[in-house]
């Protein structure tokens, strides 16, 4: 009975956590703000970058990126570096008294012992159950006594380096990438991307974000990450894939240092429908967006990766 009660509480806790995350994202979208496209340079004091654990140097991934970016903007933190309470102590510092942490999550799956036993007896594959575990992290600006180099942000790349890095990435992926026409799109059946030329954009820097958005779609091809690309325009599957591609572009831009002005907000209405119907959709979409960004950025030539090549290929852990 005790185990059942604990399982019930754990299941309720997981559901509440999904609900909390989804409600926050829905609130942002209802106000026509995209949580993965933050107003860097206005509301945020920190430079555009991927959030990173200051003790392990690992980048956070999936839904944690959105959570931590949101905290940076909301509270005006000057850095994208984070620590757990214990990690701050291990580095010789501490979290300042009265500071409140930010909740991030660790997503994984586990197989119950009963299910393992059933699988052994029947010869079938054991089923697993997804779970989320909460962690509390603190921005390094909320700490004191840390080594001087822990919270130092690397300067963003100079503007003239941005376009060459994106072009190098496009070439390195091997994806059929075509420039021309007046529309940006990916054609799954023929596996190619087409994007209008940079001069077609009011702000040429926005070409890079659009290119990375469409490349994000291309990562879903069966020969790459194998996502479900069967959704037609106007369907929830289509809206979900747009969520993945949009967040992928944001993650890639943050890693490379591209700061575009465009906001791909055309799908806000359909995104809201998806999130209201399924409280786990944003977590799944963010996770798949991280996988897409990881796939693309793994092709960035070594001389252009900078700190990115120190990131773990498995960045699901919250700390």
* Domain range annotation of the chain: 2-144, 159-310
Q: pLDDT value at position 15?
A: 56
Q: How confident is the model at residue 23 (pLDDT cuts 50, 70, 90)?
A: confident
Mean pLDDT of 273-300: 91
Whether the Cβ atoms of residue 138 and residue 95 lie closer than 8 Å to each other: yes
pTM score of the predicted model: 0.74
Tell me which of 315 and 81 has the higher pLDDT: 81
26-56 pLDDT tens trace: 887 888 777 776 555 544 567 778 999 999 9
Least confident interval from 120-124, 149-153, 183-187, 219-223: 149-153
Whether 139 has a pLDDT exceeding 80, the answer reads: yes
Question: Mean pLDDT in the chain?
Answer: 82
């Amino acid at each position: 009975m005790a185990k059942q009660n604990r399982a019930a509480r754990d299941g309720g806790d997981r559901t509440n956590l999904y609900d909390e995350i989804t409600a926050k994202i829905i609130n942002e979208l209802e106000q026509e703000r995209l949580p993965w496209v933050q107003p860097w340079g206005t509301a945020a004091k920190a430079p555009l970058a991927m959030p990173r654990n200051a003790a392990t140097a690992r980048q956070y991934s999936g839904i944690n990126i959105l959570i931590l970016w949101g905290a940076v903007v909301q509270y005006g933190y000057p850095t994208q570096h984070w620590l757990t309470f214990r990690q701050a102590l291990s580095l010789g510092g501490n979290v300042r008294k009265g500071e409140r942490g930010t909740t991030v999550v660790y997503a994984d799956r586990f197989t119950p012992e009963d299910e393992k036993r059933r699988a052994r007896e029947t010869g079938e594959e054991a089923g697993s159950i997804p779970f989320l575990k909460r962690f509390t992290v603190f921005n390094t600006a909320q700490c004191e006594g840390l080594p001087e180099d822990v919270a130092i942000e690397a300067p963003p790349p100079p503007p003239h380096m941005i376009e060459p890095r994106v072009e190098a990435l496009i070439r390195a992926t091997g994806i059929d990438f075509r420039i021309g026409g007046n529309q940006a799109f990916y054609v799954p059946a023929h596996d190619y991307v087409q994007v209008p030329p940079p001069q077609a954009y009011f702000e040429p820097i926005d070409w890079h974000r659009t290119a990375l958005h469409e490349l994000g779609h291309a990562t879903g091809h069966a020969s790459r990450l194998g996502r479900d690309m069967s959704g037609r325009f106007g369907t929830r599957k289509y809206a979900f894939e747009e969520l993945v591609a949009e967040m992928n572009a944001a993650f890639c831009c943050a890693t490379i240092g591209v700061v575009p002005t465009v906001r791909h907000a055309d799908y806000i209405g359909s995104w809201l429908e998806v999130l209201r119907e399924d409280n786990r959709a944003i977590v799944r979409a963010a996770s798949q967006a991280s996988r897409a960004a990881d796939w693309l950025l793994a092709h960035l030539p070594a001389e252009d990766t900078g700190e990115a090549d120190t990131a773990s290929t498995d960045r699901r852990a919250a700390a």
